[in-house]
Structure 1
Amino acid sequence: MRLLEVVTHYRSSLILILALAIGAMTGIYFPKIAREVAPIGQIFINLLFMIVVPLVCLSVTSSIASMTDLKKLGVILLAVIGVSAMMAIIPSLTIMSLASLFDPAQGVTLTLKNPITDDGGHMDFVHMLTTNDFVGLLSKSNILALVIMSIIAGIAIGQSGEHGRKVSEMLQSLNVVTMKIVSMIMLVAPIGLGCYFASTMANQDPELLTSFAHAILLFLVAALIYFIVGSTFYAALAGGRPAIANFWRNVFPSATTALGTSSSLASLPVNLRSAQKMGLKEEIADICLPLLVNVNKGGAAMTATLKVVFIYSVLGLDFTPEVFFMTLLLATLYAVIVSGVPGGAFLGEIFIVTSLGLPMEVIPMLVVIGATTDAMATVINVTHDLSATQLIEKILGKRLTFYSSKNQIPTNID
């Protein structure tokens, strides 16, 4: 692939990384200027928080509603979601295992304007997962509860026949408008995040920048290990040695496309062709792969887990057993639901920060990690869609043969 094509595919990420780098340098070497531009960054962050509730509600609900027809496809959906959840938990455990051996922050501590207190990791899961009234769902502080209720609402709409289809169409239209609002806000993302990061770095140790390199290197090592070992493991479960050989013989066109485009959707046609060459049943692959593009995001789960581990490390907070299990839950939801939201830029960062009660100052750091790990994460997402299809064919066998390959499930992905 030519250099110009690579730059085109990664243009948004490169611009963000450049803006954050300029912000970091400004904060370290020109702290006075960094403090003066802090309000610009704060306005941008506030705009994100202002749109996050309707974004989550409309995007998640409309996506689930359009995908869900439990009368016809319940077995498929359960298999897809179950396999996707497993493929989110395993890579999360992989990155946490390596992080326990190699501290991604290397002992560097982030200094905050308003220091947070470590409560020993005691989390109120009841209030994290639910609220005691409907109004509570309209607060960004209850984003996890909002996601859960949006999933339930989406399933209910999908099961409500003609009335549900009318509601789904309305939600789709509202979602398009919301995405347009998000795209307008994101036009100023490099400026807003650059200014916010500059003000954050104004009082920090310059060594904090090197900790990002350690965290990214940790991710790349973990991702490479998981790609090789995990893919082989899944193929072995699906069909032993023949399935392993079949997978590795046909996966590289999908992997290189994912690496070059950093897009699961752009890689879908190649994945469908790879599935055909692997001999996977067309009636299974043609239904499952479009679904898996939306919900099977093991690479995204690894990134989300790294973000949590890294931030807890730089904040000097204890990574308690409760935080461990909460991280697994967040990574799974992040992979299966949040990362599949169309156009939900920075939704993942807000999802993590609000769910764990972390300070807003860490958002640009999460963006740095997300932008720099996106390509390898996409490789895992795309190639393991093939692994998941192998497993689903093994699990369901002949149950899916009565579905026509023409009965595509609509997807909602950029």
Structure 2
Amino acid sequence: MNNWLKNYSGILWLISGVTAGAIAGLVMGKQVVVLKPIGDIFLNLLFIAVVPLVFFAISSAIANLNGTNRIGKLLSVTSLVFLGTILVSATLTIIAVRLFPVHEQLTAPPLTEQVSKKPFGEQMVQLFTTSDFYQLFTRSSMLAMILFSVLIGFAVLRSGEDGVRFARFLNSGNEVFKQLFIILMKMAPVGLGAYFAYQVGYFGPQLFGAYAKSLGLYYSVGAFYFVFGFSAYAFIAGGIKGFKCYWKYNIIPSATAVSTCSSIATIPANLEAAKKIGVAEYIANITIPLGATLHKDGSSISSIVKMAVVFALFGKGFDSPETIISALAITVLVSIVEGGIPNGGYVGELLFISAYGFPPEALPPAIIIGTLVDPLATLLNSTGDTVAAMLVARFTDGKNWMEQASA
């Protein structure tokens, strides 16, 4: 019980702060606007910290990839499996959002003025590039900064010995900004509580219906994907035998994920499950640890749900082809960026809000939804790594990989 409280203490504190904010908003009504500056200060601090945090996290990770070229084929197959399953889960969620719109409860005016819409080509140029170097390090240029971070990481790799000192600088910066983000998130119950109070006072009780509907959609899609999506992947990987083995040995990883609320903490259980299923050790030892940071099907589902809610709150439609395409691309980036960062889900939310040009007011709804779906998201993120390892084994060692393992 003590371990459970420790693992979920952050979520419980955040829910407590949001609950207190909801009560304040209902009691004070429009007068609750006096609390808004507290929330604004917290949001501004987050947006300031997230840009260098993401830069150091990505560039340092790539700069430390020395020696992986000898397993190029395995990494290529693993990357394609990760990308494929993330896109499947995200596409499934987009279909669910179209069938069961989460914005119907929102009949009040949007939180602020509508976000201006630009031509698709211009959006792509502004998303992935900037005209001046200094513009890279603003929250409105997050995707351009991510691309720059990737290039910096590969440049360090190509620099050999001359790049060692710079790689150390990137590693140090990564650790410093991780700790800064941890410090800032200690203020989340107060900051988000104040902002949620303002939202409740502005929207009124109907806001709870919007959140309830989005949570219902997430848990329905997530449960469907957990049962049927993972079953389909296991069947593709190993037929009926693969299906039976996956569910037979997935119990302990599932329990570990729910009890710890951590993909990293589930790695040992996933490795043991993969071994019992018959995944080769050299595949499991690479795919599962990488998956803990890069493969997040649960996060991809929550990313789409959060985008749909934020779009609705700001009076924008989440149905145009360019919006859907960019949402899928951002979902993949969010899945990658979240890994290895404390409270990585919040970083992902900051990323898509910045990419679409939403104001800071868009962050609290996304964080609140992300917090409430975290247990199921962790379950999907973690246990999806084992079935991903099965798929990698299928496409690396051939369709008879399970029989070879038994022999």
TM over 0.5: yes
Q: Work out the percentage of aligned pairs sharing the same amino acid.
A: 30
Cα distance between partner residues in 1 of 2:300 and 2:394: 24
Partner of 1:166: 165
> Does the residue aligned with 2:203 lie in a helix, a strand or coil?
coil
How many aligned positions are there? 396
1:326 to partner: Cα distance: 0.9
**Aligned equivalents of 1:151 and 1:159: distance in 2?**
13
1:96, 1:163 → 2: CA distance? Answer: 46
| Structure 1 equivalent of residue 113 of structure 2 | 115
Corresponding residue for residue 395 of structure 1: 395
Partner of 2:153: 154
| Residue segments in structure 2 that go unaligned for 5+ positions in a row | 399-407
Does residue 1:76 correspond to 2:77, yes or no? no
Quote how far apart the aligned CAs of 1:107 are: 3.3
Q: How does 1:20-35 map to 2 (within 5 A)?
A: 20-31=18-29, 34-35=32-33
Deviations 1:32-85 (A, max 9, x none): 552112111111111111112211110111122224544323333322222111
1:264 aligns to what SS in structure 2? coil
Deviations 1:123-167 (A, max 9, x none): 611111111232221111000111122122223323443334433
Task: Give the aligned partner of residue 359 of structure 1.
Answer: 359
Q: How does 1:39-54 map to 2 (within 5 A)?
A: 39-54=37-52
Q: Does 1:324 align with 2:302?
A: no
Q: Specify whether residues 110 and 305 from structure 1 end up closer, same or farther in structure 2 by C-alpha distance, changes over 3 A only.
A: farther
**Equivalent residue letter for 1:222:** V
CA distance in 2, matches of 1:37, 1:215: 26
Alpha-carbon distance in structure 2 between the residues aligned to 1:395 and 1:120: 41
One-letter amino acid matched to 1:244: F
Q: Is the 8 A contact 2:53 2:178 kept in 1?
A: yes
Measured in 1, the distance between the counterparts of 2:75 and 2:169 equals: 23
Residue 112 of structure 1, CA deviation: 4.6
1:362-401: CA deviation from partner (whole Å, max 9, x where unpaired): 2111111101111111111111101111111122228xxx
Q: Name the CA distance, whole Å, in 1 between partners of 2:155 and 2:394.
A: 29
107 and 200 in structure 1: CA distance in 2 versus 1, 3 angstrom threshold: closer
Kindly indicate whether residue 374 of structure 2 is the aligned counterpart of residue 379 of structure 1.
no
Residue aligned with 1:258, SS:
helix
Corresponding residue for residue 138 of structure 1: 137
SS in 1 for 2:247: helix
- Which stretch shows the higher mean deviation, 52-61 or 192-201? 192-201
- Mapped to 2, the partners of 1:200 and 1:211 lie a distance apart of 12
TM-score of the superposition, structure 2-length normalised? Answer: 0.91
CA gap 1:48/1:185 in 2 versus in 1, 3 angstroms: same
Equivalent AA in structure 1 for residue 327 of structure 2? T
Alignment of 1:7-406 (within 5 A): 7-31=5-29, 34-67=32-65, 69-109=67-107, 111-112=109-110, 114-117=112-115, 119=117, 122=120, 124-319=123-318, 320-335=320-335, 337-345=336-344, 346-397=346-397
Q: Secondary structure at the match of 1:154?
A: helix
The answer on whether the counterparts of 2:105 and 2:209 sit within 8 Å (CA) in structure 1 is no
Q: Which residue does the alignment assign to 1:407? A: none
Larger mean CA deviation between 122-131 and 281-290 belongs to 122-131
RMSD: 2.1
Whether the aligned pair in 2 keeps the contact of 1:63 and 1:341 (CA below 8 Å) is no
SS at match of 1:176: helix
Q: Do 2:114 and 2:316's aligned partners in 1 also have CA atoms closer than 8 Å?
A: no
Q: Which residue of 1 aligns with 2:404?
A: none
**Judging changes above 3 Å, is the alpha-carbon distance between structure 1 residues 285 and 256 closer, same or farther for their aligned structure 2 residues?**
same
Using the TM superposition, give the Cα deviation of residue 97 of structure 1 relative to its aligned residue in structure 2, in angstroms. 1.1
User: 2:382 corresponds to which letter in structure 1?
Assistant: V
Superposed CA offset, 1:101-125 (max 9, x none): 1122333145456312453885611
Question: How many angstroms does 1:25 deviate by?
Answer: 2.3
Q: Which runs of 5+ in 1 are unaligned?
A: 399-414
